[in-house]
Every structure is written in C-alpha cells, then in structure tokens.
Structure 1
Amino acid sequence: MSLKKMYLRSKPVCKVTFRVPKESADGAKHVSLVGEFNNWSEKSTPMKRLKNGDYTLTLELETGRSFQYRYLIDKTRWENDGEADAYVRSTFGNCDNSVVTT
C-alpha cells in the first residue's frame, strides 16, 4: 500500500493518492477508503480498480492536518497502510488506524 502527496500552490490542499496493490487486495472485488475525511463512511469513497489489479483513489485534503484512515476490502476485511505516516490506537476495537499528515 502506498501514499503519494502533491501540494497545490493555488490553494491550501494536498492531493493524496492512496494505492492498494493487487497483492494486498488479494483478489478483492471491492476496496473502499474509510476515514476521518469521509466521516468513516464505508460507501462514500470506493477505490477504482486498475487494469493491473491495483486499487487507487486521489483525494484533496486540507493541509496542516492529520487524518486517520483504513482500507475496507470486500466489505469484511480491514487493513492498514504499510506506508502510512503514523499509526494511532483506534477507539473502536483492538486495532490501530493509519494516519496521513498533510
């Protein structure tokens, strides 16, 4: 999994591209990005499946902030990002959340 950041000069946002590689998706039919930026909605940010089997999504996030997130694979399996900027303990369950800092 990976993050790619591109800061815009024209406005205070960072375009963050989230990627789940084919190997991590493990034959998934659906991957969603779920986090603070979408009010932890499991449906509002589905990722696009590429021809090579990777899943990707680009969001514009406000700069100077940190956002917790996780990937939801096939609506049943939660995964963290191995290349997240940090990890914090989730208030729900016994797990960590990935963090992206803009």
Structure 2
Amino acid sequence: MLERTQRKDRTKVTFVLPADIPPGPVSVVGDFNDWQPGIHTLRPRKDGKRAVTVELPSESTHYFPYLAAGDYWFNDESADDGDGSNSRLHT
C-alpha cells in the first residue's frame, strides 16, 4: 500500500506492507535510490505493519519493485500501474 502526503514541491510517499508477508527483511528498490537494495528497508510501525517513507519531487514519475529475503522481487498492487517488472508511482 502507498500513503502519500503532498507538500509544497515534494510528496512524502510511505511504502507499507504487512508485518510478516512476505517474511524477512524487505526494501524498496527504485530509480529514486539508484536501484540499490537496503537503502530504504521497511521498519515496524506501531500499527503492526512495516513501512518506509521517501520524499520525492511533486509532479514526477518513479519506478520501483520490492525486494524481500531470498531474492524475491514483487510489485505493489496499489501502485498507479506498472511496466511489467516494476511498479509505477506518480507524485
């Protein structure tokens, strides 16, 4: 799930997943972090889910998948759409 908060010229995007699906560590890997795993790793939240927040320029398009343990790559069903192997996010 994606949560968005609009700012003046930035959009805070929070990537949210259940606490244990998929199991193990999960990170968001995208064009906004040079496709580097581990930079934006989801952390536990008080509501029992896990999340990470990234600030992105408003009025922009970004691509990302998630990377879980065991080299398991997957997309976000709540993203704006996808291009096959990546989710697409419009801010």
TM over 0.5, shorter chain: yes
CA deviation map 1:31-57 (0-9, x unaligned): 111000001001211111236652201
In structure 2, what is the equivalent of residue 72 of structure 1? 67
- TM-fit CA distance, 1:74: 1.2
In structure 1, what is the equivalent of residue 13 of structure 2? 16
In structure 1, what is the equivalent of residue 3 of structure 2? 4
| Cα distance change of structure 1 residues 77 and 52 upon mapping to structure 2, 3 Å threshold | farther
Q: Where in structure 1 are there 5+ consecutive unaligned residues?
A: 90-95
Find the residue that maps to 2:21 and give its secondary structure.
helix
Q: Is 1:88 equivalent to 2:83 in the alignment? A: yes
RMSD: 1.6
After superposing on structure 2, the runs of 4+ consecutive aligned residues of structure 1 that deviate more than 3 Å are 50-53
Q: Is 1:54 equivalent to 2:49 in the alignment? A: yes
CA deviation map 1:2-52 (0-9, x unaligned): 01111113xx10001110113632xx2211110000010012111112366
CA distance in 2, matches of 1:60, 1:75: 28
What is the aligned length? 91
| Matched-pair contact (CA < 8 Å) for 1:50–1:56 | yes
Larger Rg: 1
Q: Is 1:39 equivalent to 2:39 in the alignment? A: no
Q: TM-score, normalised by structure 1?
A: 0.80
